[in-house]
């Protein structure tokens, strides 16, 4: 049977495609195994195009391979310039670390350390001893332990103290932490039995009193740090819950989420509950994040009564959720800066404390420089609002300044995508088809990178 002329022609066009080895020559910056997969994927796409009746040259296949290689590079973790105005940006790694925090990491990352070794006694030591002392000094807690995030802190606390027993939670505090991680799910995973009390907007002390039974182990108070309930609302104070717990033999566990150590009654964290106040008012255990208002690395901190912390530290789950040496080193440096009153050395606090006047000067200067370098694009300084982000301070906005960028022939979405595809990606936001690059979250030394990127994209 004669071969189909169409198939023969198709075969000829397939054989004309460059071999993998030739494509690899243009992918020398990638590891060999990755480059090989990229080359094969490029050839697969070229064959699909030919089957669909399209035409492609060897240079065209090489271009496909190069684009795939660029996409691969962008899939690796890489530094990003955050121009969104969201200071604690979960998708961009929460908060940047400052020089003293990075130096603490560098000191222990390049070699061995006394992570769990007692240099005085010459024997196994306590991984949490250094952080524990500082946390105790900052919060007034008797003891503390550290895990890898606050969800883990709540999970291991409930597992260690409330397994197979009841935990009372107000219906107004059954929050979703993010990405569908919800307090009821965390409670169920711990082995505790959730008992809902009160209503969504109002919970009274009498609701807790009626719900306590011999099977009750704890009251879990959850700070709704990522939303606000306003209007006809009522919640029970920490003092009252602690008094009730002591009288009825149940613990008070307070998940504070953001974990403010700031004692000021004004400024960007005004109104946020303080960890030290929760301890002072009688909470037996308090949990909070290290990478939110503390301005440190991802971590969960559990602070409170020493006998309870000891029980938590001995729980088998601690092995699965404990942090490594680099996270602990960064956290210890973060806590030290708070203890020494140097929190403005933390990038988060530095950007939060920047005045609107200073940001306006930066935005005006950058807009003027760009206007002189760009041909058709329009760039101007614009007053905007920045936010804390990261599930913290949901009703707090900070006056900020951004550069607003438009182009007569290039849409905002296209500009935004081009900025994201840079070797040093820039992530901003779009409002009313205008690209806004908020300088509250852009470090001054990053402005030149942003300017060069816009010039290359828009000219």
**Does 323 share its domain with 181?**
yes
Write down the pLDDT at residue 339. Answer: 94
- Single pTM value for the model: 0.87
Last residue of a domain, one of 317, 343, 369: 343
How many structural domains compose the chain? 3
Same domain, 311 and 232: yes
Domain boundary among 343, 364, 387: 343
Domain match, 205 and 336 both:
yes
Domain check: are 216 and 308 in the same one?
yes
Q: Which of 439, 449, 369, 372 is nearest to 403 (CA)?
A: 439
Shared domain check, 375 and 283:
no
Q: What is the CATH number of the domain that holds 361?
A: 3.90.1150.180
Same domain, 50 and 173: no
Question: Which of 324, 343, 362 lies at the terminal end of a domain, its last residue?
Answer: 343
| Same domain for 87 and 53 | no
- What range defines the domain where residue 429 resides? 81-92+350-458
**Helix runs in 52-204, H state only:** 58-75, 99-109, 129-139, 150-162, 183-190
Cβ-contact 162, 192 below 8 angstroms: yes
Q: Which two tokens stand for residue 289?
A: 């994040």
Shared domain for 183 and 258, answered yes or no, is yes
Q: Which helix (H) or strand (E) holds 289?
A: strand 285-289
Do 191 and 289 have their domain in common?
yes
What is the secondary structure of 327-345 as a DSSP string? Answer: HHHHHHHHHHHHHTT-GGG
What are the pLDDT tens digits along the chain (459 aa)? 444 556 777 888 898 899 999 999 889 888 898 899 999 999 999 999 999 888 899 999 999 998 888 777 767 788 999 999 999 999 999 999 999 999 999 999 999 999 999 999 999 999 999 999 999 999 999 999 999 999 999 999 999 999 999 999 999 888 776 656 688 888 888 999 999 999 988 999 999 999 999 999 999 999 986 666 666 778 899 999 999 999 999 999 999 988 888 765 557 888 889 999 999 999 999 999 999 999 999 999 999 999 999 999 999 999 999 999 999 999 999 999 999 999 999 999 999 999 999 999 999 999 999 999 999 999 999 999 999 998 888 878 999 999 999 999 999 999 999 999 898 999 999 999 999 999 999 999 999 999 999 999 999
Report yes or no: 321 and 148 within 8 Å, Cβ to Cβ.
Answer: yes
Identify whether residues 52 and 23 lie together within a single domain: yes
Helix, strand, or coil here: 218? strand
Q: Which helix (H) or strand (E) holds 194?
A: strand 193-197
What is the pLDDT at residue 3? 46
**Are 71 and 128 in the same domain?**
no
What CATH code is carried by the domain that includes residue 245? 3.40.640.10
| 64 and 35 both lie in a single domain | yes
Q: Distance (Å, rounded) from C-alpha 439 to C-alpha 351? A: 9
């Amino acid at each position: 049977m004669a071969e189909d002329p169409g198939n023969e022609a198709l075969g000829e066009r397939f054989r004309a495609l460059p071999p993998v080895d030739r494509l690899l020559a243009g992918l020398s910056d990638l590891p060999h195994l990755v480059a090989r997969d990229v080359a094969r994927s490029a050839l697969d796409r070229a064959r699909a195009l030919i089957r669909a009746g399209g035409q492609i040259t060897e240079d065209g296949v090489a271009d496909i391979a190069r684009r795939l290689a660029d996409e691969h590079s962008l899939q690796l973790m890489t530094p990003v310039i955050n121009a969104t105005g969201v200071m604690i940006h979960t998708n961009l790694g929460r908060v940047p670390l400052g020089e003293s925090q990075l130096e603490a990491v560098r000191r222990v990352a390049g070699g061995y350390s006394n992570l769990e070794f007692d240099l005085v006694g010459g024997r196994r030591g306590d991984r949490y001893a250094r952080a524990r002392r500082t946390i105790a000094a900052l919060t007034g807690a008797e003891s503390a332990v550290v895990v890898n995030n606050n969800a883990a802190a709540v999970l291991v606390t409930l597992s260690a103290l409330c397994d197979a027993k009841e935990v009372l939670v107000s219906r107004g505090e059954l929050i979703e932490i993010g990405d569908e991680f919800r307090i009821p799910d965390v409670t169920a995973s711990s082995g505790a039995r959730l008992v809902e009390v009160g209503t969504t907007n109002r919970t009274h002390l009498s609701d807790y009193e009626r719900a306590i039974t011999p099977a009750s182990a704890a009251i879990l108070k959850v700070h709704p740090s990522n939303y606000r309930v306003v209007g006809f609302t009522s919640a029970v104070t920490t003092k009252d819950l602690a008094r009730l717990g002591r009288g009825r033999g149940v613990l008070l566990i307070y998940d504070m989420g953001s974990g403010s150590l700031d004692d000021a009654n004004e400024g960007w964290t005004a109104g946020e509950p303080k960890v030290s106040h929760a301890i002072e008012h009688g909470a037996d255990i308090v949990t909070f994040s290290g990478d939110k208002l503390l301005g440190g690395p991802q971590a969960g901190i559990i602070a409170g009564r020493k006998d309870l912390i000891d029980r938590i530290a001995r729980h088998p789950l601690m092995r699965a959720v404990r942090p490594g040496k680099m996270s602990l080193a960064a956290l210890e440096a973060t806590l030290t800066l708070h203890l020494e009153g140097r929190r403005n050395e933390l990038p988060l606090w530095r950007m939060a404390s920047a005045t609107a006047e200073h940001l306006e000067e930066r935005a005006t200067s950058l807009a003027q420089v760009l206007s002189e370098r760009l041909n058709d694009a329009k760039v101007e300084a614009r007053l905007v609002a920045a936010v804390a982000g990261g599930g913290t301070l949901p009703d707090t906005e900070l006056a900020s300044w951004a550069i607003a960028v438009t182009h007569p022939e290039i849409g905002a979405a296209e500009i935004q995508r081009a900025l994201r595809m840079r070797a040093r990606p820039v992530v901003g936001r779009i409002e009313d088809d205008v690209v806004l690059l908020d300088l509250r979250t852009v470090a001054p030394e990053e402005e030149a990178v942003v300017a060069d990127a816009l010039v290359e994209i828009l000219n």
